[in-house]
Structure 1
């Protein structure tokens, strides 16, 4: 493992890693996406001098889906609306939830548990990697975070703890063998006008190898 590598155990009651091809109802991917895992790490420890990269995802609990209904707003705030209101000095700057609420069905995951292997890259070469590694580990052990980590939706909170590689649980029997999960969102390329990038996720005995973000296996 690299000297910037970490292993974190994540678990929670519910999760929803929404497939982008579903336009109305939310339908979750089978497992956590690399971008969602990165979001958990950044919620715990984010610094402009480093960039988190997900290397491997261990699925430690059987994949179970359930149907729920959630309250959501039915519209978005257009960019030009607040600008015009601020220029004119009148108008609405936001959305009133009570007037814009609607119920939508969602297919979510329940009782999820993962072990995420990741490392960070230094964006500032004057920084020392050990400093950031120790600060991250200390924050994990104390349960500190900048904001509550969550699994896809903010109401689905994520628990976390430092994981010893020798203590990773064996994958459930239902996950043994090889399973093709299809194309999965890797992350968003913010340098290319927020372009989503995807990779072919294959789970082998509960483990998904995540290719490098700019590797040949990742497609726009």
Structure 2
């Protein structure tokens, strides 16, 4: 597929929770990473408002194991101590395959649509381990990205057959990606892992969508809060001076 990148991301712990449970109390991880969590990892590797990243598939490399930790979460409106139990994934590792498409709803950034240069910068960012901090679902779960070939190496579930996980959170519909001034949440009805690989449906194929709140897309202006791919490309791949 065009504009595709492949990498492996791994960490000591992962916590992929339903957004509803993020407001406090006990937290329990999904058994597999959500589409939105993986998209967040890809955007930490390389992101521009000109692009929309799509997660094509993920390969579960290590056995799905959990570990419970007793934590004292920060309380901003009370000085009393409170113990909460969080259930994390232990030693998660995933091979990820993703690709980008230009955001057709951002006509104001049409001048930045240079497919070749965006792809080269993205691949360079993968080789460098990403541009921003990588974490698996939650900020305390620091992760690491390395370039790899998808389907390379041995995975724990390679000959495991088919496993269904039931309905789960898929991701958010952001206004700048949909053209609507509305933030929405998507639910995926039937995620299935086949021999360790989960193929994600596209956001527009999710039939369960819930509106959250009205929201307008952010404005990006070159030279103020936005650097074009031409500028970034020239910094990363300087032209050699001919003798």
TM range (shorter): 0.7 to 0.9
Q: Which residue of 2 aligns with 1:128?
A: 114
Selected match of 1:206 from 180, 196, 201: 196
Of the two structures, which has the highest relative contact order with CA contacts closer than 8 Å and spacing of 6 or more?
1
When residues 213 and 189 of structure 1 are mapped into structure 2, their CA distance, relative to the original with a 3 A threshold, is: same
Deviations 1:155-207 (A, max 9, x none): 11111111123x52333158711111111211111236322101121111011
Q: Is the 8 A contact 1:16 1:29 kept in 2?
A: yes
In structure 2, C-alpha distance between the alignment counterparts of 1:15 and 1:71, rounded to whole Å: 18
For residues 55-134 of structure 1, what are the structure 2 equivalents within 5 Å? 55-74=56-75, 95=76, 99=79, 102-123=82-103, 124-126=109-111, 127-134=113-120
User: SS at the partner of 2:47?
Assistant: coil
| TM score, norm. by length of structure 1 | 0.80
Going from structure 1 to structure 2, the CA distance change for 1:68 and 1:48 (only over 3 Å counts) comes to same
Name the SS of the counterpart of 1:102 in structure 2. Answer: coil
Q: Is the 8 A contact 1:9 1:116 kept in 2?
A: yes
2:97 counterpart of 1:150: no
Unaligned runs of at least 5 residues, structure 1: 75-94
Deviation of residue 46 (structure 1)? 1.3
Cα deviation code 1:23-54 (max 9, x no counterpart): 73100000111100011111121111111111
Contact kept? 2:69, 2:85, Cα under 8 Å: yes
Indicate if the aligned counterparts of 1:73 and 1:100 stay in contact, CA closer than 8 A.
no
Greater fraction of residues in strand: 1
Q: How far apart are the structure 2 equivalents of 1:4 and 1:159?
A: 22
Is contact 1:186–1:218 with CA below 8 Å preserved after alignment? no
Which runs of 5 or more structure 2 residues have no equivalent in the other structure? 104-108, 210-243
- Distance in 2, matches of 1:188 and 1:100, equals 34
Change (3 A) 1:144 1:20: closer
Give the Cα–Cα distance (whole angstroms) in 1 for the partners of residues 170 and 100 of structure 2: 16
CA distance in 1, matches of 2:124, 2:158: 35
Q: Distance in 1 between matches of 2:174 and 2:207?
A: 15
Equivalence for 1:196: 185
The CA distance in 2 between the partners of 1:9 and 1:159, in whole Å, is: 8
For these two proteins, the number of residue pairs brought into alignment is: 195
Normalised to the residue count of structure 2, the TM-score between the two structures is 0.73
Describe the shift of the 1:148–1:180 C-alpha distance in structure 2 as closer, same or farther (beyond 3 A): same
